[in-house]
Amino acid sequence: MTKYKGFATKAIHVAQEPEPVTGSVTTPIFQTSTYAQEEIGKHKGFEYARTHNPTRFAWEKNVASLEGARFGYAFGSGMAAIDTVMRLLSSGAHVICSEDMYGGTFRLFDKVLSRYGYLFSAVDMSDIEAVKNVVRPETAMIYTETPTNPMMRITDLSEMASIAKEAKALLVVDNTFATPYFQTPITLGADIVVHSATKYLGGHSDLVSGVVITDREDLAEQIKFLQNAVGAVPGPFEPWLLLRSVKTLALRMEKHQENAKAVAHLCEQHPDVKAIWYPGLSSHPHHELAKKQMSGFGGMISIETGSFEAAQRFAKTVKVFTLAESLGGVESLLCHPVSMTHGSIPKHQRDRLGITEGLLRLSCGIEDSEDLLADIEQSLSVL
Ligand SMILES: Cc1ncc(COP(=O)(O)O)c(C=O)c1O
**Are residue 144 and residue 67 in the same domain, yes or no?**
yes
Is 46 among the domain residues? Answer: yes
Active site residues per annotation: 50, 102, 174, 199
Model confidence over 192-243: pLDDT tens digits? 999 999 999 999 999 999 999 999 999 999 999 999 999 999 999 999 999 9
Residue 145 has φ and ψ, to the nearest 5°, of -110, 145
**Are residue 205 and residue 315 in the same domain, yes or no?**
no
**Are residue 234 and residue 355 in the same domain, yes or no?**
no
Model confidence over 286-338: pLDDT tens digits? 999 999 999 999 999 999 999 999 999 999 999 999 999 999 999 999 999 99
**Are residue 276 and residue 234 in the same domain, yes or no?**
no
Is 1 among the domain residues? Answer: no
**Are residue 300 and residue 370 in the same domain, yes or no?**
yes
With the CA atoms of 245, 251, 254 and 257 taken in that order, what torsion angle do they form, in degrees rounded to the nearest 10? Answer: -30
CATH number at residue 323: 3.90.1150.10
**Are residue 74 and residue 123 in the same domain, yes or no?**
yes
**Are residue 299 and residue 340 in the same domain, yes or no?**
yes
How much is the pTM?
0.98
Q: 372: domain range?
A: 249-380
**Are residue 226 and residue 81 in the same domain, yes or no?**
yes
Is 180 among the domain residues? Answer: yes
**Are residue 216 and residue 325 in the same domain, yes or no?**
no
Which atom belonging to ligand 1 lies closest to the Cα atom of 325? 14
Is 2 among the domain residues? Answer: no
CATH number at residue 107: 3.40.640.10
Q: What's the confidence (pLDDT) of residue 1? A: 57
Q: Which residue CA neighbors atom 9 of ligand 1 most closely?
A: 78
Model confidence over 252-280: pLDDT tens digits? 999 999 999 999 999 999 999 999 999 99
For residue 361, the cross-strand partners are: 302, 335
CA of 343 to the centre of ligand 1 (A): 14
**Are residue 153 and residue 296 in the same domain, yes or no?**
no
**Are residue 113 and residue 61 in the same domain, yes or no?**
yes
**Are residue 142 and residue 254 in the same domain, yes or no?**
no
Which atom belonging to ligand 1 lies closest to the Cα atom of 198? 10
How many structural domains comprise the chain? 2
143 CB under 6 A from ligand 1? no
